[in-house]
Every structure is written in C-alpha cells, then in structure tokens.
Structure 1
Amino acid sequence: MGVNAENKFPAIEFRSSDLKRGTDGWRNLCKKVQEACEKFGCFEVVYDTISTKVREESFGLMKELVEVPVERKQKNTSPMPYHGWVGPCEQVSLLYEGFGIGNASNYDSVKSFTQLMWPEGHPHFCDTIHTIGTQMEELNKLIWLMLIDSYGLGDDSLKLNYTTLVRMMKYMAPPPGEYERGLFAHTDKPVSTLICEDQVSGLEIEVNDGQWIKLTNLSPSSFVYVVGDPLRAWSNGRLKSVNHRVMMSGDKDRYSIAAFAIPNEGTIIKTPKELIDDQHPQLFKDFDFMEFFLFAFSNPARHIDNGELLHVFAGLSPPVSN
C-alpha cells in the first residue's frame, strides 16, 4: 500500500536544548506539534529523556504480568470502562489483553495494583511502572503546553485536574499468514494519549482520504502522541482526533504501554474564547468530560459511528470531516 509524501507521518525530535519555553527552538517545536496535530491528529515524539532502560524493563515486567493466574487478573476491576483488565473477547479482539492502573503517577495506586497481581509483592514492578507512568504524564503536560503556546493562549486555557491511566496491552500474533484485528478502529475519548511500544509494529492511523497507514520504523526512544476527542472540542475543531486501530501480522506478540489523560469528575471541557471568531464559529458546547466518557461506552452509543460520537454528544452544528 503506497503512501504519498503528503501523508508521511511526522516525527518530531524533542531536543533538551529546545524545551526552554520562550526560545526560538521552543517556538519552532510548538509550530511543528500544532501542524502535526491539526493534519494527522498524532505524531511520533522522539524523546530520550525517558531512558531505554526504563522502557525495556517495563516491557520485560509486562511479560511477567500476563503470566499471572487469571483469577488475579480478574481483580483488576473498575467501574470506568476500559480501566480494568480486559481479556481476549469478540467485542475487542481475540488477540488483545489489557490491564489498567488508574492514577499511575501516584505510587500507592501502582502498589495497590501490584499487590493484586503479586500478593507476595513485586517492588521492581511497582517502582518501574510508577517511574514510566510519571514520566509519560510529564511528557503529556509538555505537549499540552506546546499546543497552548502555538495558539498564543494563556496557561489557564487548558488547565485540567486529571490523573493518568496507564494501560499495559498485549496483542498476540495471529495464525501464520493472517492479518487480523488487534484492536478495533476508534478515536480516543480521554483528552490525549501517549503510546510506548516495543518495536513490533501494528498501530495504524486513518488519513484524510480514508487510507490507513501503518506506523513502522519508529525510533527506539519514540512515543506516539494521539489527540483525543475532548482536545478536538477544546481547540474548536482545529486539532484532529484521529481514527486508529491495531492490525496484527507476523509471528511476534506486540506489547504497548499507553498513558491516557483522564480529567477528574466534574471537569468541564470548554473552548477558549480566543479560538472562536467569525471564521471559526463555536462547534461544540461546553460539556462534562465524565458524562461524555460514559456516554461513549454506553449502549446507545454503539449505534453511532465512533468518529461522530463527539458531535452527537456536544456538537452545535452538523458534523464536519475530521
């Protein structure tokens, strides 16, 4: 499947020398991040501040995690959709297994999860996953700051009280010669997502012409940043919430760690007035994040195209292509 030059997936290097706010390097980074999020709704973040050692240890520990008995995995529960353990099933994928740790930058939250999986304790798992969860949360905050500055807004324009949900996911290799769904196509319902993967490709994004492109040859120090529906609403439709999926082929299992920004209950998603004008009329009403999140996984929402959920819930005008 050929990909034309216009659809070349953007890779943006976050050099430490460019991360000082207000410098020319910072302003240049902000512009690149804005353009990538407006055109693709995601981009590759080359960011070596999170060490290769922490990444490799995290994936090694995940391979221990998937081996714990099912009766322990089933204790990873949550009233929130996709916040707990999800085993292979028709609804998601027979190749998928995922675990959830809420508030992953809080050591006690990671410790509680660890004790469910290993009642005898596993300090190395606890320390490592807390470290990578905290560092991914900081990277997410940094990208939010770049988006704020790219639009010339004040810090308060995207000041959300939120926690980071870390999901650790395994996608099993399909039968030989098969090309099978590892995770269904969807836009993200949290504000934004950072994905760390183990060099086994599978993540695909949908570009404007309906073509799917597979993200391959990502740097070993890369993350993929994904704009969620609430960030699209906040930007008054400027940022794209990209449709993405996981498709599996070959003989290797795939492991990934995703950090989702989940606003606290009662958080209102609101478009800054600076992003509304005659050329950009307001597209979305202010809405309660948790009400939207729960609606997105409710029975009525199953009959709505995933990409239209935001418009159905909060749109002030007919849907526009995203």
Structure 2
Amino acid sequence: MSSTQTHLCDHDNHAVPIVDLSLLHQTDPHTKSLLIDQIHQACLQMGCFQIVNHGISESVIEGALDVNSEFFDMPIANKEELMSDDIYKPVRFSTVQGNSPIEGQFFINFLKLYAHPLEDFVALWPNNPPHYREKMEMYTKEVMKLSIEVLGAIMESLNLAPTYLRDKLEQGFQMMGINSYPPSSQTNVKIGVVSHTDHSIITILLQSCSGLHVVDTSGSSSGGDGAWRVVPEMKGTLVVLVGDHLQVLSNGIYKSVLHRAVPSTDETRLSIASFHNLAMDEVVEPAPELMDEEHPKGYRGSSFQDYINHLYSKKEKTFIETLRLN
C-alpha cells in the first residue's frame, strides 16, 4: 500500500486521524474527495486531526520552538514588563496554578500574543531573546496561510463552498498561545491545563513532546467511549482542533473537542497554539445552508470579543453553553 493510501485508508477508531494535506492539490478528484471525507469524519468523530505535508518547513517550526524555549528559560526579571493578569491585553506573560476538584493540581507558564493583523501587534512582542520577533513572525505568517487552506477543506467537508467566509477569515483574528510546562517531577502536578474547549473556529497546535489529551466522543458505533486519548508528538506534525465557533458555524454538526495538557515527567513541554477566528467584533452565526426545518438554528451569534467579556465575568457556564438555543 502506498503512503497516500495509508493516510487515506488506515484508521484506528481510538487514534487521532492523520491527514496528508498535500493531497488537497492532487489533480485526481477522487483522491481529493476521499481526503475531504476523511476530514469530515475526523471533525465529526474526534473533533481533531493531525496534519502532515502541511508546507511549513522544519527550520521555521524548530525556530519557533527554540526561541520560545529561550524566552521561558530567561530569568523572571527579564519578563516582568510583560507580566499581567489583564485578559484584555494583546501581549501578556503569566503563570497560572491552582487546584481542580476533578483533575487535581495544575501549573502552567504562558505567553499570549495577538498576531493578526501582524503589523498591529508585532512591535509589542518580546524583543528578548534576540530574533524572537523574527522567528515567531515567520511561523505566525506560515500558520496563518495554512489555516486558510485547512478551513477551506473543512468548509468543503460541510458541503459549503471552500471559499465560504474566506475573505473574513483572511482579515480575521489570530492569537498565539505559547505554553511551557515544567516536568511534573519538579512541580509535583499532574495537569498543565485542565480540560477545556477552545473558543476559536480552529486551533492549530505545535507541541515539542506528547502531552495533548483529547476526549474520544466518536460514539459507540465507532468505538468512542469518552476516554482520554493521547495525541502523540510526531516531528513536524501539527494538530487541528475544532473550536467552539466551528461548532456554532456548523450548527452543531461538528463539536469543539474537549482537551487538556499533561506535562512530561522528565522534560519541559512546550506548545504553540494558533487560534483562528473572524475579526474581534465579527459575529459568527450558524451557516444558513446548514439550517432547515429538521435542523433549526441551534446557537445564537457571538464574537471573540463576547468570549473575552465572558471570561472577564467569570460565570460558571462555559461560553458554548451560553450560546445554545435549544
């Protein structure tokens, strides 16, 4: 069996699917159709998939990982000017620790960067270590281009036009979330980030080592049992996660994936998440093409700004729950 056939046909009901994105450019319509169906099944059953042959070079990926490792390794005094608990700030560094009644103690160091339009924000990014802005700008631009390609395939998997909302997505909001998890042997905690969904249309995640866990909700007919599944780190591979706003846009056909981060026992784990959405104040609604008498509108419209305001309010309900209409 060829590698192309392997990526299209091999399937373990308990594994996160691997999608060969280069097949989107195949001239054979049957091959592309199979790929779009694979993406549909992955979003429908697991809420996430891994992508290979995505076009971002190894040097750009390694550059982003290396420069962020250097940032987190710097003395705290070098990062103090970026420290903030103000969730409205476009650039902020912080440490979060606490205790979840279900999952136990958690600990994370994180850096959040607003990233698109890039010219509005890059001057606010860290300028230490040297070349931080240069290397992160390269990765950010590449993953933004990739997101448009992935979102086009996802729209097609919903039987929408591949260009559906493309103009708004190209002018949309991108935020980079860089998380550093010290080895659990140093902090004596089992969780880096407790279980949650992302409020994005999609999130594209790069991880330095395994530690991303997702809940398998693919259903008993497909082997899903609600158990946690480990998404293995494979060099150069990226992970696509369905976010809350894709759940809204698809009118509930796709569900945002519940996931968490677990630190390594013997090395610092680094992840770089790129969150993609429409512009900050642009409202995401269920696609009219996906609504009818049998499938009425299931969610009210909302923007990313609404989500930030919801976080600030510290309400107990998750944001996606506040959007449900029935």
Secondary structure, aligned partner of 1:291: helix
1:96 to 87, 105, 108: 108
Q: Distance in 1 between matches of 2:27 and 2:285?
A: 25
More displaced stretch, 169-178 vs 200-209: 169-178
Contact 2:17 2:49 in 1 (8 A): yes
Shift of 1:109: 2.6
Q: Distance in 1 between matches of 2:78 and 2:313?
A: 27
For structure 2, list consecutive stretches of 5 or more residues without a partner in the other structure: 1-10, 218-224
Superposed displacement of residue 94, structure 1:
5.2
Deviation, structure 1 residue 249: 3.9
From the superposition, tell whether residues 33 and 149 of structure 1 become closer, same or farther in structure 2 (CA, over 3 Å).
Answer: same
> Relative to structure 1, is the Cα distance of residues 264 and 126 closer, same or farther in structure 2, using a 3 angstrom cutoff?
same
Q: Contact 1:104 / 1:130 at 8 angstroms: preserved in 2?
A: no
What secondary structure sits across from 2:95 in the alignment? coil
1:267 and 2:292 aligned: no
Residue 110 of structure 1 deviates from its aligned partner by 2.7
Question: Within 5 Å, which residues of 2 pair with 1:1-322?
Answer: 5-15=12-22, 18-19=24-25, 23-76=29-82, 77=84, 79-80=87-88, 84-90=92-98, 95-103=107-115, 106=118, 109-115=121-127, 117=128, 122=130, 124-154=131-161, 155-157=163-165, 159-160=168-169, 161-175=171-185, 180-198=190-208, 200-208=209-217, 209-216=225-232, 218-300=233-315, 303-304=316-317, 306=318, 309-311=319-321, 313-317=322-326
CA deviation vs aligned residue, 1:230-275 (integer Å, no higher than 9, x gap)? 1101100011201100112421110111111143232111111110
CA distance in 2, matches of 1:81, 1:183: 21
C-alpha contact (below 8 Å) 1:105/1:134 kept by paired residues:
no
2: distance between equivalents of 1:192 and 1:91?
A: 28
User: What is the alpha-carbon distance in structure 2 between the residues aligned to residue 11 and residue 150 of structure 1?
Assistant: 16
SS of residue in 2 equivalent to 1:89 = strand
User: SS of the counterpart of 2:229?
Assistant: strand
> d(CA) in 1 for partners of 2:288 and 2:69?
47
Residue identity opposite 1:215 in structure 2:
V
Unaligned 5+ segments in structure 1 are 318-322
- Give the distance between the partners of 1:177 and 1:74, measured in 2 at CA: 22
**Aligned residue type for 2:150:** I
Specify the code of the residue in structure 1 equivalent to 2:125.
F
Q: Do 1:183 and 1:245's aligned partners in 2 also have CA atoms closer than 8 Å?
A: yes
Using the TM superposition, give the Cα deviation of residue 29 of structure 1 relative to its aligned residue in structure 2, in angstroms.
Answer: 2.1
Between the two proteins, what is the percent identity of the paired residues? 21
Q: Which amino acid aligns with 2:282?
A: T
How many angstroms does 1:125 deviate by? 2.1
Change (3 A) 1:36 1:177: same
The superposition leaves residues 46-98 of structure 1 with CA deviations (integer Å, 9 ceiling, x where unpaired) of 13511111111222111211133424424335542896212142279653111
Contact 2:251/2:290 (<8 A) preserved: yes
Q: TM-score, normalised by structure 2?
A: 0.82
CA distance in structure 2 between the aligned counterparts of 1:44 and 1:298, rounded to whole angstroms: 34
Separation in 1 of the partners of 2:60 and 2:231? 22
Q: What is the aligned residue count?
A: 300
The 1:288/1:110 distance shift into structure 2, 3 A limit, reads: closer
The change in CA–CA distance for 1:288 and 1:177 in structure 2 (over 3 A counts) is closer
- Partners of 1:276 and 1:296 in 2: CA distance: 29
Indicate the RMSD between aligned Cα atoms, in angstroms. Answer: 2.7
